[in-house]
Structure 1
């Protein structure tokens, strides 16, 4: 739907639908049929067919019988954004050092309403139960990164994200009570870190801290993810000083980058 500030005459609905189709693909929907696209977006099967065939013609998708999947060309869309975030390239060595020191996977994430998206990763070569590569989207309300970002967000923006979010029980540990999640977010703001244990995946724990921008806002969160068998809450909390040190360094990089921009 068009933005409230954008006049209807300036809103290109066909482009919006095409981008919405691209966003449908991902775990677990690596393959989609015309009917599935139509049902999920509330459009006609004919419209879904035209969009999918256009994406295939442009090289962004491919057909395998009745099923469609994305092709690597779609990565250009994400790469175009990453190229505008030049500070991430400068920040990568800090992320790599943290990964080496803690021997755990580290990442930087931001809100992509209403979810979070991973922008940068430093990965330990260890088998994880789920794949968390750059560009992966996760529910903000169920992740440590999301709760940190929500904690330092303006009240109006936070309420909008919480209202638009889904509260599906992804595991038996997933918190679905909205009031309880709001309470946790307030605690996160006070303690300046968030821990999530098995809410997205039972075998994965994560801890995040804020990365402050020059204007004191928190556009990014720094996180460490680990197998549940490797760390309990106490050992995760013991990582906070080292993570906060890296978050400060990342904030300094962000400040220097903005000064030069």
Structure 2
């Protein structure tokens, strides 16, 4: 009986040891892959922004149309145990602003985290707690109105102008039926005074939610406001685009004009 027990323990220990060794070898390969890429990325960063983006393999052909000459790339590049997320805003094919972020896995040992910090510090700012600050440029431009004459001074709505924020149109979404982050923020700040302004957001989801608010609250807008907003809605219909929508658990694409037509017919 004891002999059988010892044999079982021996086999269990060996299986655990093999599994641990394989896992350690996999982690080692991940780290080598990560640090090698970061070194190459640093060299590209030192040459030019163009080389840096090329090394990140930015998929320029997969730009999402925001309308009015604006496009966005919102994607990332994964490696071993690190990834780089990037958001790049374009105006007429020229880069207007960008934000590139990454993070050091907090579950790594201090020795490994220090290794990643040393490598990443050539490009990003990394604090003593291994928090990596994003690398960004001209981020103030993501908040601009599509009509500079329609400036609104209340900074609380700035995030709703931001195309880097969620561009999904919907309300409750996902298996847990959670309210979308942009919907939460929109419902918190939307009112008759800023509805027209938000129709000039670079973020198409904000524009559509503003149309929804307008059609749902027509009696709160005077005739002069209605005339101006109706003209703006016609302008938006002349800039059709495919939007990501979420209904229930399903994400899909839908024409902005079809959404506007459904909103107009449901008032």
**Fold-level similarity (TM above 0.5):** no
Larger Rg: 2
